[in-house]
Amino acid sequence: MSTDYSRALGARLRAIRNQQGLSLQGVEDKSHGRWKAVVVGSYERGDRAVTVQRLSELAVFYGVPVSELLPDPRPSSAVTKSTKIVLNLESLGSLPADEAGPLARYASTIQAQRHDYNGKVLSIRAEDLKSLAIIYDMSPDELTTRLIEWGVLSPGADGSIYATEDDDDS
């Protein structure tokens, strides 16, 4: 198991434990000693490899599918937390509603919350893109590709994602 994968797996394990409001000691207590705090902690830090059997048992203990404990195997290269994401609202407005309707409604809601009605571009966060990816039932990378194909996004030279603009001063 690669170190990066071990850490990603550990981060998922920690996230699930935290979502359930359990400390490491809480896991040990709730499991009546079946899961030692030191062992679960070493899994979460990626210091100790977890077998498939033990991972399956942890999933049962946490009451989640095993797939929820596994990190996403696809590298997320298109969008990072520091990526600036700017939607081209003019391009969005020209797309068929059956394709872009969810995105248009999402953008409209953000505009209303911000009282921002310039109508040309809208900045969103990477977390917004993740939410939209769920709505579209695809990964953030797949959605980014789709938005680029639609002309709502265009990749910037520095790796950031910017709205396409029809300016002559570029």
Per-residue pLDDT of the chain (170 residues; tens, 9 = 90+): 457 788 888 888 988 898 889 999 999 999 999 999 999 999 999 889 999 999 999 999 999 888 888 887 655 444 444 467 888 988 898 999 888 999 999 998 988 888 887 778 888 888 888 888 888 888 888 888 899 889 898 665 333 444 433 433 33
CATH code of the domain covering residue 130? 1.10.10.1930
Look up residue 97 and give its two tokens. Answer: 């509603």
Q: Check if the beta carbon of residue 160 is closer than 8 Å to that of residue 83.
A: yes
Return d(Cα 100, Cα 147) in angstroms, integer.
Answer: 9
Same-domain status, 59 and 96 = no
Whether 10 is in a domain gets the answer yes
Could you tell me if 89 and 135 lie in one domain?
yes
130/79 Cα distance (integer angstroms): 9
Can you tell me the distance from the alpha carbon of 12 to that of 10, in angstroms, rounded to the nearest whole number?
5
Report how many domains make up the chain. Answer: 2
Are 7 and 32 in the same domain? Answer: yes
